[in-house]
Amino acid sequence: MEETYFDSLEKKINYDFKNKVLLINALTHKTYAFEAENPLEFNERLEFLGDSILGFIIAEQLYKENKYFSEGELTRRRSIQINNRFLAKKANEIGLGRFLLFGKGEKKQNGDRNPTNLANALEALIGAIYLDSDLDKVREFIFDNIFY
């Protein structure tokens, strides 16, 4: 993979990674990592981090914008905004699927169109951006690319 492979993705999301390894890890499905000759980190740990960050940022925004909503209503609205179906749709809009790295079997099964894979990769991308920068940059990414 040459450096230009990810250039169009970085341009699309308006974020240039300082540490390209984080970007590659965010886009690496475990099937690709398991088939690699050398051990390779894949996106599940970044997905875990990104999911938490996304939940926090959306909860914070809902809290600020909805002064009179109950906890239950805030929770309901947050769950609507961070469910896998919604995130997969947003990942599709970014064109994330074409950058994902899959093993042979997952590639044959059109893993780049699988909603779970897309949502997970988007969450991993959030985690990677956070580690590469800070909470303000990831907040900007989320509101520019997911909740605009």
Non-local (6+) Cβ contacts of 147 within 8 A are 58, 61, 81
Within a 10 A sphere around the Cβ of 113, how many other Cβ atoms? 11
Q: What is the DSSP letter of 38?
A: S
* Residue numbers annotated as active site: 51, 123
- Going 120 to 126 to 132 to 135, the CA torsion angle's sign is negative
The answer to whether residues 137 and 52 touch, using CB atoms and an 8 Å cutoff, is no
End-to-end CA distance of the chain: 31
117: its two tokens = 């894979």
Within a 10 A sphere around the Cβ of 35, how many other Cβ atoms? 14
